[in-house]
Amino acid sequence: MCGICGKLATGGNGIDRELLKRMCDSFAYRGPDDEGIYLSKNVGLGHRRLSIIDLSPAGHQPMSNEDGTIRLVFNGEIYDFENLRRKLISKGHDLKSRTDSETIIHLYEEEGTDCVRHLNGMFAFALWDEKRQRLWLARDRVGIKPLHYYWDNRRFLFASEIKAILLDPDVQREIDPEALDLYLTLSYIPAPRTIFKNIRKLLPGTSLVFENGTLTFETYWDLEKERTQSFEQGDLDQDLPFLTDRLRGLLEESVKRRLISDVPLGAFLSGGLDSSIIVALMARNSSRPIKTFSIGYKDLPAFDETAYAREVARFNKTDHHEFKLGYKDILDVFPRVLENVDEPFADSSAVPTYIVSKETREHVTVALSGDGGDELFAGYRMYLGEYWAKHYSKLPRFAREGLIAPLIQALPDSRDNPRLEMIRRMKKFVRGMSSSFSDRFCGWREIFPFPLRQKLHHHPLPENFYLAHIKDLVSKKKPWFGNDSVNLMLYMDMKGLLPGDMLTKVDRMSMANSLEVRVPFLDHTFVEFAFQLAGNLKLKARGGKYILLEAFKDYLPPMIHNRPKWGFEMPIGAWLRKELSFLIDEYLDEGHIQKQGLFHSGVIRGLVADHMAGRQDTSWQLWNLIVFQHWYGRYMP
């Protein structure tokens, strides 16, 4: 795993080596083992290396072909590179290393940019073709690895992280108002936008070519292109044994591919279904006990999952490591966590992810995780809301809107109490409930609902920008899924939530600790098969992941079979009321908010009052604003 960056200047302006050096230094933690820079007349490439495959100097980057006319900087892993390497050698190519990176150069010589279709892995890379004066960037199919770029019609820059691009003094720091609205809506900013105008994220499954002064984009992979058949609930009796066997086989092969490493590896183990399955498959395919790592919370049993993780570790005879957090641990790492995100990013689980990555790195260099299982098999509560929506909508309108919704909205709620948390979920369900799929999806995803965003922002957008985006996406993609609203919802989260939030969190927090994280659920062969399964094979009345549990129930201890979904959340609601309340005083000070001029301080004051009085849990909204203010103070003059 590595960090990459580069610059291409038009008009013969040349490239500053010192700028490239500073760009590389800005994310040195992504690659503490080596650094390399390549300069030619009008292009520069930079690389920081975390050595995983072929630890020798032969893996130094930027890497070139035999005559030096092609140069590559690469971040990620290609899992089938040995097969590709043998084929290339048989065709006469001279490969100087055992690295996966080098195969891309010679595949490009054979097939041009179409060669990306042969790559199975997680990656973001840039290739410079000197003869064609062509710069080619590509990002993996589901967006596991990040890639950002800037283009102002005179200079083109790219980097693994935004902060590297901002080191160029000619790059302006101007907030994109639509990106800010998306952040308030979601607590992250989905691709292709970033918080900055003119800086963009390359979309997953997409390549970019800069040639003859022009940018062109190509989507080389999309789920809809691969969904050629669908296994339906009506065939369940005859197909279930085949489908579960196929699921086991594909996921086990994915895990095996991700066990290839020249350095020690282990696994994150939350005790949830997904990570438990990955650990079970690792244990079945390892000759020695695997190392597993879990995090829990001191004195907050509702947020602590370590008992489940310990049982999975015992069941699989792993070498288990457990860490318990308190609010002081959060305070210690809070600044470091936020320093490693270059735009506002308010998923509170980034903090425990940072800590578990830091502790894990003390023992291994590579860790496998269960990310992606929720988005493939309907693991989130929001999907269960879609299941019950059709039943709730059958109630008379006067009962829904005149009785049930007002009653529920009037009740107090809190994430810290199981009964009040149930009320909070009910509130969100009825608030987002609509006969329109797009309205439901948007309503259940929003952190700040649109009316509240309108009140909060001094200069609100004239329409619900996120809802407009969702409606446009649904109109384009719904024909592929027909009446299968569950898979349509999963597809949209595969395109938005997964790369924008979940994978961003894991990449930033793990790489900040020089730890590579691999995600077996997101092998594209497994993803494609998962989306051939109809939604009613995934989601039932009690929750999601039905067929996944059927496939792997014998691999799991019984206590995991029916355990409730919680997630890797931080108990931010309880801590903001007590131990972390000073963050509200520091970052949401009324005078500071008024001076900044972005938000109405009275709205924020109301959110704080509701949370502190226990009338409504607004902790996610407050955390969203705290994170934004911290980011703003660091990045905006």
Residue given tokens 């660091």 in the structure block: 634
Q: How far is CA 502 from CA 213, 270, 480, 493, in A?
A: 35, 15, 25, 10
- Phi, psi values for residue 320, rounded to 5°: -95, 140
- Phi, psi values for residue 224, rounded to 5°: -65, -30
Task: Report helix, strand or coil for 593.
Answer: helix
Active site residue 2: yes
**260 closest CA partner among 107, 433, 83, 379:** 83
DSSP 8-state assignment for residue 203? P
Q: Which of 2, 5, 24, 115 is catalytic?
A: 2
The rounded distance, in Å, linking the Cα atoms of 259 and 520 is 10
**315 closest CA partner among 547, 551, 561:** 561
**416 closest CA partner among 582, 576, 584, 273:** 576
- Neighbouring-strand partners of residue 267: 292, 368
Residue given tokens 């108002």 in the structure block: 177
Burial class (CB in 10 A: 0-12, 13-18, 19+), 637: exposed
- The helix or strand, by DSSP H or E, that contains position 216, with its residue range, turns out to be strand 214-219
Residue type for 591, please? G
The rounded distance, in Å, linking the Cα atoms of 380 and 4 is 34
Asked if residue 252 lies in contact with residue 241, where contact means CB atoms within 8 angstroms, the answer is no
DSSP structure string for 524-585: HHHHHHHTTB-GGGT-BTTBS-HHHHHHHGGGS-HHHHTPPP--S---HHHHHHTTTHHHHH
- Phi, psi values for residue 184, rounded to 5°: -65, -30
CA angle in degrees (0–180, nearest 5) for 582-586-590:
115
The rounded distance, in Å, linking the Cα atoms of 384 and 391 is 12
Token pair belonging to 308 = 């489940």
Task: Report helix, strand or coil for 208.
Answer: strand
Q: How far is CA 540 from CA 237, 258, 436, 480, in A?
A: 16, 31, 21, 22
Q: How far is CA 631 from CA 28, 202, 336, 604, in A?
A: 20, 22, 12, 18
Strands 319-325 and 291-297: parallel
Token pair belonging to 495 = 């395109």
Asked, as a colleague might, if the bond just before 62 is cis with ω within 30 of 0, I would say: yes
Asked if residue 119 lies in contact with residue 524, where contact means CB atoms within 8 angstroms, the answer is no
Residue given tokens 């496998």 in the structure block: 368
Asked if residue 292 lies in contact with residue 267, where contact means CB atoms within 8 angstroms, the answer is yes
- Neighbouring-strand partners of residue 136: 127, 209
Enzyme catalytic residues: 2
